[in-house]
Structure 1
Amino acid sequence: MAKNIYVFLAEGFEEIEAVTTIDLLRRAGLPTHIVAVGDSPRVAGAHGIVIQGDVLVDEVYSADVHALVLPGGLPGVTNLKASAKLQQLLQDAAEAGKWLAAICAAPSILGERGYLEGREATAYPGFEQYLTGAVAQPLGVVCSGNIITGRSAGSTVDFALELIKAIEGEDKAAEVARAIVYQR
């Protein structure tokens, strides 16, 4: 089965978190798809950078999912929360124990849906209150079971490498880190 990873972009997403994560996942050879949440395949980030999605959210099917990734940014996270289709995909993935990854303000979506209950997690400072049921950690990246959370744009490389490690193993994550001359 393909290890399809879907990265969801809604108007106002944080560009560093989205593009860096997509880039590193693709460098690892993982089939990574940019999902536009909305009616258009073109999505503008919080700082005006427009990204072309590979598919629209309505074209993603739970059976194809290995991991779902939610970048932060505002109002991007608010717009992700408003997508009923994304909420259904998250529920299906959580129930199936598939990988869920969220960074910056986006872990609040996982917290508000109850997916962080009894887990450690991190989020952008000030968003810890939305990590319902979690033990909030002031760390750059936290992996707890099948959920990976990242704190901020400054943690994005570590966040993406942690996801690569979870899916493909430490050797592949180290290989990607070496290729970009990054020391963890």
Structure 2
Amino acid sequence: MKKVALFLANGFEEIEALATVDILRRARIAVETISIAEEKTVTGAHNIPVIADKTFQEADFSGVEVLVLPGGMPGAKNLNEHEALKKLITQFDAEGKLIAAICAAPMVLGGLALLKDKRATCYPGFEAELTGAQTTGENVVVDGNITTGRGPGLVFEFALRLVEQIAGLKTRQEVQNGLLL
């Protein structure tokens, strides 16, 4: 089973991060939350503190096959300013590994030119940050190894799409049914 790293930056969108972790774990997918701050406690955009599994410095990404970036502001901006994370994302893209970002977080991928000539979506108003992308306005877009989602109200669709990509349609349907969706 593929291992997932979901990154938390101060100002992250709590719904996007925690619902994604919850849904992936319901599918029995190994997910580690990684703080890009120096400490494990990260405070979301709505002042909810969350304790990450590890800090970026403590994390071992050698077994990780999927990176997930939740949005929120200034969370997405903070992710975008973390040079080691951007280097890791670039490496994953070069290896064709799955990268997912929702809400404002696709701006990180856009800034790295990873969305050039790809279809993508994001929170309304961030389209200009998706350099070179064909922005669709769809809820969730998969183009190659990159999955993007539009925003917090669509996190179930976003996370279930990741479940499908990682564990298959049958597992997605099981989790979806269990959530009464």
TM bucket (normalised to shorter chain) is over 0.9
User: Which residue number corresponds to residue 73 of structure 1?
Assistant: 72
1:67-146 superposed matches below 5 A: 67-146=66-145
Kindly report the root-mean-square deviation, in angstroms, between the aligned alpha carbons of the 2 structures. 0.9
Letter in 1 for 2:86: Q
Q: Residue 14 of structure 1 aligns with which residue?
A: 13
Which secondary structure state, in structure 2, belongs to the residue aligned with residue 58 of structure 1?
coil
Q: Secondary structure at the match of 1:102?
A: strand
Please report the TM-score for the alignment, with normalisation by the length of structure 2.
Answer: 0.97
Runs of 4 or more off by more than 3 Å in structure 1? none
Which 10-residue stretch deviates more, 58-67 or 10-19?
58-67
Distance in 2 separating the partners of 1:94 and 1:139: 22
Alignment gaps of 5+ in structure 2: none
CA distance in 1, matches of 2:180, 2:167: 19
1:51 maps onto 2:21 in alignment: no
Output the CA distance in 1 between the equivalents of 2:109 and 2:151: 16
Mapped pair 1:161 → 2:134: no
Residue deviations 1:81-117 (CA, integer Å, cap 9, x gap): 1112211110111111100000000001101101111
- Amino acid aligned to 2:55: L
8 Å contact 2:69–2:100 — kept in the other structure?
yes
Would you say the 8 A contact 2:80–2:107 is kept in 1?
no
TM-fit CA distance, 1:78: 1.0
The letter for the 2-side match of 1:134 is A
Give the Cα separation in 1 of the matches to 2:35 and 2:61: 16
User: Contact 2:6–2:33 (CA<8 Å) still a contact in 1?
Assistant: yes
- The letter of the residue matching 2:174 is E
Structure 1: which 5+ runs fail to align? none
The offset of 1:60, in angstroms, is: 2.8
Residue 151, structure 1, aligned to residue 150, structure 2: yes
**Would you say the 8 A contact 1:40–1:56 is kept in 2?**
yes
Please give the secondary structure, in 1, of the residue aligned with 2:110: helix
- CA positional deviation for 1:159: 0.3
Aligned to 1:5: 4
Number of aligned positions between the proteins: 181
Decide whether the 8 Å contact of 2:4 with 2:68 is kept in 1: yes
Which residue is 2:63 aligned to?
64
